[in-house]
Structure 1
Amino acid sequence: MNASDEWVAMEEQTEEAPQAELQMERNSSALSLRTHPTVEEYYGNMTAFLSLAIFIASLLTILNICIYSTTVSRLRRHLNKPLRTPSILMVSLYPIISVAALVTILVPYSWFMCHTVMHVMFMVGGPIFRTLLFRYVDSEQNYVKESGGEAVQLSTPPCCCWCLCLPLVVPTKAKLCISRYMVWQMPFWQGSIMLVMNILYYRDIQLYHQVMYFFIPFIVSSIVLGVWSLQITVRMITKLRGDYQLRKKMFCLQLVVMLCKLQYLVLYDQLDGIKMGGEYPINHTVYKQTIINILILVEMVLVSMMVQSAYRTPIQVQIDEVNKDKEITRI
């Protein structure tokens, strides 16, 4: 190599050095914006916004628990034993989600674990709700008898478009078993995926970001199958128990995945366009997650009120009528 070649090589190295340093600065800046602080760093650099957010989140959580306590008290008074346990479990989903959102605000590093808890509430609520639906008609076998072999339409959301070509189906024991498996696959299938994702996130976050998109089709497919089966079941039971507000109860369950999963993911990306917070530790990610979880807490209060209204019927009305008959008999 002659002197001119050496000079050119030295110039190239000199030009590459600032570029490498600039790239490292960009990476460290992006990392500081997205890194979650430890508990000591979080509370050691507390801001007025976060203090106010914690106060509001605590009040909203307490309000949700109060609504839940009132609802459970009413269910315990007005429901018989077969319906009491699944109904109480269903209304318990929403305060648990509120507590998970509050913990996310209190401990930002735990956000993925708390987000998983929110997701678990839906995939556990699905099988519980299906159990409750068939307890409204005593059992699956009793439903087959009461329905009298009436055919059921399969074109229900979220598969109402591509299922139009499917024929009407007469519910039988075997077909109800398939429907049961479509719902019960959610906690096993999605639970396994979320467990793996949590391990990856807290052990090797870079590997998590590389493989997370491969899990999304499996989670979406599992949710669609479960919701489709539940919608068909709601349509079946509504024909026999039309005054039980089953569609409203199903909508309340769907709001869990809509608000805690879809809305969370959409806002998580959309809020990146708004500059919030400062440098590490109270960075953009902390502010973003705080805002999202405050919104979820407000929504869970509203959903809990809707749930309280949905689960008032039908048992309470029937018991009140029985009590009136007893009073008339005594008189």
Structure 2
Amino acid sequence: SLSAGLDLPGRFLFATLTLMTLIAILVFIEEAVYIYRKIPSSKRSIIIWINAAAPVISTTSCIGMWVPRSTMFTDFTAGIFFAIVIHKFLMMMIKECGGQKVLLRRFENGHFTITTGPCCCCCLCLPRVPITRQTLFWLKVGTFQFAVFRPVLVFLSIVLWTNGNYVLYNVSPKGPALWISCFIGALTLFALWAVGIMFRKVRILLKCKNIIPKFALYQFIVILNHLQTTIINIFATQKIIPCAPPLSSTARGSYIAQQLLIMEMFLITVISRVIYRRKYHDLEPPECVAEEPGDKKQTP
């Protein structure tokens, strides 16, 4: 068994990381109870979903650490869950502004700046887009498509894997793993772009609701769960991370990624509890909200 093959430091590390995962789950449960009791019903489920991101990723990483053969499935589960969280974060920003109708009233003459990351941060010539019901709809589509297509692509990957056609770390152009990963990457960029556009517009208005630290935590989860894991897997595939018998390079890379994620998600869970528990002042009525200076300019 896995535990039998570990030395004393290895067992201590596994036990510590498992304990951190359990603590993260307990912290989240306690936070969910608090949110359920104290937060209005219109925001309750959204905030619980967002707070669940770090504990879920920590749990899937812990399962993958103890059961190495489940790594592909735990990664898929974490990816699907966080795809939904990205959409929920966009909806949270809209809810914090008072809902879609109130947001449209607040920014009646405003514009979205679409020259933001990760897609168009260098395209400074792009015009600003008026804030209308239609543009809000397309921002929602930008995140919702990821929440829909990510599970579909995961299901396709599992079907191909059961047929022996899908190998997780096979980056050959002839294999489906590379193309599925590229497609998921493109969908991810569009979803993150939609969230970035909305955040850039509401960050000043929602400063009193600590939206900047909340967005920072969300960004940390994106970077750690996607970019960090991808970099480690590339290093492992290229044998930059050496093998350590009985672990191959790819297996050792997975262990490193999972162990790092458990520690990082534990910290994010604790910090999220502090940030989301604060009491915030209500926003001013829409009529009292001043326009941003840039919104008074004509769109080129």
- Please give the range of the TM-score, normalised by the shorter of the 2 chains: 0.7 to 0.9
Structure 2 residue matching 1:161: 3-state secondary structure: coil
User: Does residue 227 of structure 1 match 2:184?
Assistant: no
Pairing 1:181-330 to 2, within 5 Å after superposition: 181-204=141-164, 209=170, 210-271=175-236, 272-279=239-246, 282-313=247-278, 316-318=279-281
Pairing 1:58-207 to 2, within 5 Å after superposition: 58-204=18-164
Show CA shifts across 1:88-107 (max 9, x none): 11101111111101110111
Deviation at 1:59, TM superposition (A): 1.0
Show CA shifts across 1:256-281 (max 9, x none): 331122211211232433434314xx
**How many aligned residue pairs are there?**
275
Query: Aligned pair in 2 of structure 1 residues 201, 44: CA closer, same or farther (>3 Å)?
Result: farther
1: distance between equivalents of 2:248 and 2:60? 21
Query: Aligned pair in 2 of structure 1 residues 206, 196: CA closer, same or farther (>3 Å)?
Result: closer
Aligned-residue RMSD, C-alpha: 2.4
1: distance between equivalents of 2:158 and 2:7? 29
Which of these residues, 29, 46, 51, is aligned with residue 11 of structure 2? Answer: 51
Structure 2 stretches of 5 or more lacking a match? 283-300
Structure 1 stretches of 5 or more lacking a match? 1-40, 320-331
What's the TM-score, normalizing by structure 1?
Answer: 0.75
Aligned partner of 1:109: which letter?
Answer: R
Aligned twin of 1:27: none
Deviation at 1:133, TM superposition (A): 1.5
2: distance between equivalents of 1:285 and 1:170? 48
Structure possessing the higher radius of gyration over alpha carbons = 1
Query: Aligned pair in 2 of structure 1 residues 95, 200: CA closer, same or farther (>3 Å)?
Result: same
Show CA shifts across 1:146-183 (max 9, x none): 22321222112213433311112211111111111111
What's the TM-score, normalizing by structure 2?
Answer: 0.82
Name the % identity: 18
Pairing 1:23-42 to 2, within 5 Å after superposition: 42=2
